[in-house]
Amino acid sequence: MMKKPRSATTLAVTGNDTRNGRAVFRTPTGAWSQDVSEAEVAESKEAGENLLARAEADARQTIVVDPYLIEVAAEGDRLVPTRLRELIRVSGPTIVEIGDAAALSRAA
């Protein structure tokens, strides 16, 4: 199901890598990167829909799952998502994995 962005004109496509489940962003070369700053951007709704169509073709090839458009903004030379949900996805898991928890308790 395609999620519609608000009315922003700077858009990128995100999805999840089928190999490891991580959040990824479609790049101008058609690759997928975990770095949102490498994402291809679209400056209009029509360009965003075209970008999403290419990402959905990748989903049909099981490279990614559930691609959708997100709003992004430039902060200096970086791109950052504008919505909290996407900022959290970019930052990685919000829980500590079991192996990490053991390492944290030994360090304390």
User: What's the structural domain count of the chain?
Assistant: 1
Name the pairing type of β-strands 11-17 and 23-26: antiparallel
Residue 42 lies in a domain: yes
Q: Comparing 34 with 101, which gets the higher pLDDT?
A: 34
Q: What is the pLDDT of residues 27-53, one digit of tens each?
A: 999 999 999 999 999 999 999 999 999
Residue 2 lies in a domain: no
Residue 3 lies in a domain: no
| 52 membership: H or E segment, kind and range | helix 45-60
Residue 54 lies in a domain: yes
pLDDT at 27: 98
pTM: 0.77
Q: Are 12 and 79 in contact (CB under 8 A)?
A: yes
Number of other residues whose CB lies within 10 A of the CB of residue 16: 17
Q: What is the pLDDT of residues 8-24, one digit of tens each?
A: 479 999 999 999 999 99
**21: containing domain:** 11-107
Q: Are 41 and 79 in contact (CB under 8 A)?
A: yes
* Lookup: tokens for 26: 């479609």
Handedness of CA 49, 77, 37, 80 (dihedral sign): negative
Amino acid at 55: A
Those residues whose C-beta lies under 8 Å from the C-beta of residue 40, and which sit 6 or more positions away, are 12, 13, 26, 27, 28, 51
Residue 36 lies in a domain: yes
Residue 5 lies in a domain: no
